[in-house]
Amino acid sequence: MRPLVHPAIEAIRPEAILHALSDPSRAAIFARIMGAGCVEACASVSTLGDRVIPKSSLSSHIKVLREAGLIRSERHGVEMRNHSRGAEVEARFPGLLGAIMNAYASEDSAARAAADAGAAEGQTPSA
């Protein structure tokens, strides 16, 4: 158990943020942490939609988010509390997180609409 590493706000690099959020699973995890009053244990994000994320994968996703500077993790007894650092990142890179999370949100709603339309016609949506 090596100590948790959190980059200082001025050491956060845009490429790390983009890389961290370029994985839809990680983006979804981050969205939950941002949305859930800024605190969320790892266990509570272990399923995404209908997909189960293995513990070891989840642990490394959380680590990537932490080392990118997107979240701050603290051990509280046996569990881990993950806080969003969204406000700090927003101050350093204005508009970045909002635009990224918006892009995913609009993508999701478009995909859902397409799936619904396909289901209504009794078809799978065309790839």
Binding site for DNA (CB under 7 A): 1-2, 4, 19, 23, 25, 41-43, 53-63, 73, 75, 77-80
Q: Which is nearer to its own copies, 79 or 108 (CB)?
A: 108
Least separation in angstroms between residue 38's CB and its own copies is: 21
Instruction: Classify residue 101 as exposed, middle or buried by CB count within 10 Å of its CB (0-12, 13-18, 19+).
Output: middle
Instruction: Classify residue 104 as exposed, middle or buried by CB count within 10 Å of its CB (0-12, 13-18, 19+).
Output: middle
Least separation in angstroms between residue 40's CB and DNA is: 9
Note the residues at the interface with its own copies (CB under 8 A).
10, 13-15, 17-19, 21-24, 27, 92-96, 98-100, 102-104, 106-107, 110
Least separation in angstroms between residue 56's CB and DNA is: 3
Residue type, 126: S
Q: Please, what is the Cα angle at 98 between 23 and 44, to 5 degrees?
A: 55
Identify what 100 binds: DNA, its own copies, none; CB under 5 to 8 Å per kind.
its own copies
Instruction: Classify residue 120 as exposed, middle or buried by CB count within 10 Å of its CB (0-12, 13-18, 19+).
Output: exposed
Least separation in angstroms between residue 80's CB and its own copies is: 25
Q: Which is nearer to its own copies, 35 or 98 (CB)?
A: 98
Q: Which residues pair with 72 in a beta bridge?
A: 83
